[in-house]
């Protein structure tokens, strides 16, 4: 099972969409700056998530 998610950046008010089998771990990586695509944004808020 995979999760499709949308993050919202409080820093620049932009969104980011992604998918992962482990949502909790992936969100932690985003907020720790370990994901290249969102490293400069941080403080991401989960806006939407669906299981596929």
Q: What is the pLDDT of residues 11-35, one digit of tens each?
A: 889 999 999 999 999 999 998 999 9
Cα dihedral 18/47/45/9 (nearest 10): 70
Distance CA 1, CA 19 (A): 10
What is the predicted pLDDT for the residue at 25? Answer: 97
Distance CA 12, CA 1 (A): 31
């Amino acid at each position: 099972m995979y999760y499709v998610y949308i993050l919202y950046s409080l820093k620049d008010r932009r969104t980011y969409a992604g998918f992962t089998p482990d949502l909790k771990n992936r969100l932690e990586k985003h907020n720790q700056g370990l994901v290249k695509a969102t490293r400069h944004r941080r403080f991401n808020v989960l806006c939407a998530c669906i299981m596929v």
